[in-house]
Amino acid sequence: MLHYQVLILVQSRSLRTKLSTTSQNLHSKVVDARDNLVYRQQQQQKYYDRKSKSLPSLNEEDVVRMNHNETWKRGIVRLKHQAPRSYIVDTEDGSTLRRNRRDLIYTKKVPLICAAPVDDSTDHFPPLKATQPQRLESPIHTQCNSPTDDTTQSSQESILRTRSSRSSKLPVRFKNYVLN
């Protein structure tokens, strides 16, 4: 029986059987598969679009949350990209990323304050005489901070000076710890 159905599909017509049939059914009828595919796609799109809605567009300087490396980060929309539904976003840590609108969540939070870089050259610090690395308590600039975290975060961070007077900043993962 299966072999019989395959032959019908291959030859695009009904085959002669012992059952009575009209002569019209015995002539081949070419079916255009492309038309059927396009019709099915249009039907599917019609049913999908009934309940779907497009997200509202974002304006410049809107505060958004975005998923970056499996963590949600806060950022500011700088401009709309030429690609459809894409935006250029500046993050808290100073990086600039392009994200699609579906990856951005609009928030009504206070916008970030992006401070100008602070000159942290070595002429502000006295030379060190000890051979052991010492920790000098000094505020370090961060490129973008929220207004409430500006004073608390700068007092927690410190610069570590080595024997060669190289300044090294502690990794971000240690910012909540007091290290001696």
For the chain, the structural domain boundaries read 63-110, 114-174
Three-state SS for 24? Answer: helix
pLDDT digits (tens, 9 = 90+) for 110-139: 665 555 555 555 555 555 555 555 555 545
pLDDT digits (tens, 9 = 90+) for 19-53: 777 777 777 777 778 898 999 999 999 999 998 88
Long-range contacts of 50-55 (CB under 8 A, 24+ apart): 55/85, 55/101, 55/102
Q: Give the residue from 83, 76, 114, 121 showing the smallest Cα distance to 100.
A: 83
Going by DSSP bridges, is the β-strand pair 104-106/96-100 parallel, antiparallel, or unpaired? unpaired
Q: Classify domain 63-110 at the CATH class level.
A: mainly beta
pLDDT band at 86 (very low <50, low <70, confident <90, very high): very high
More confident residue, 154 or 62: 62
Distances (CA, A) of 167 to 9, 99, 134, 139: 77, 34, 10, 13
Q: Do 101 and 87 meet the contact criterion of CB atoms below 8 Å apart?
A: yes
